[in-house]
Amino acid sequence: MKYLALVYYQESLIDAMSEREWHSLNQECIRCVERLSEQGHFVAGQALQPVANATTVRVRDGEVLISDGPFAETKEQLAGFYLLEARDLNQALQLAGRIPPARLGSIELRPVRELPPKDLQGDER
């Protein structure tokens, strides 16, 4: 089963790090991905640019609304994600606990919901 591990932390903690501390954290993340990959648990993942680079898109009454920044102001910002393969929630929790930025913030773990197969009876409207 696939689980999405969303990495959250306060960007102010990252901003306060020295260049050496930031580099060290990134190297830890790289090693974590290598270990997860070797064990067959890593499906995909990426780090995200800071929240200042976010753009939010909404559609209301058929109108596309675009605003700078994240959808909501929060204490912790979404920093990246790991898509994990695990046999069950317990294993996914153990894997998420090894993600280095968990020490700085939190990892939200959510099972991936598979979409149903495409309706082959045609386009019903």
- Give 30-77 pLDDT, tens digit per residue: 999 999 999 999 999 999 999 889 888 889 999 999 988 766 667 889
Percent above pLDDT 70 for the chain: 94
18 pLDDT band, cuts 50/70/90, is very high
Pairing state between β 106-111 and 2-9 = antiparallel
Q: Which residues contact 74 (CB under 8 A, 6 or more apart)?
A: 8
Q: What confidence score (pLDDT) does residue 42 get?
A: 98
Q: How far, CA to CA in Å, does 80 sit from each of 46, 62, 120, 124?
A: 6, 30, 36, 37
Residue 122 pLDDT greater than 80, yes or no:
no
Which pLDDT does position 68 carry in this prediction? 85
Structure tokens at 70: 């994240």
Looking at residue 73, its pLDDT comes to 66
Query: Residue 41, exposed/middle/buried by CB under 10 A (0-12, 13-18, 19+)?
Result: buried
DSSP per position, 53-107: G-EEEEEETTEEEEEES-SS--SSEEEEEEEEE-SSHHHHHHHHTT-GGGGTSEE
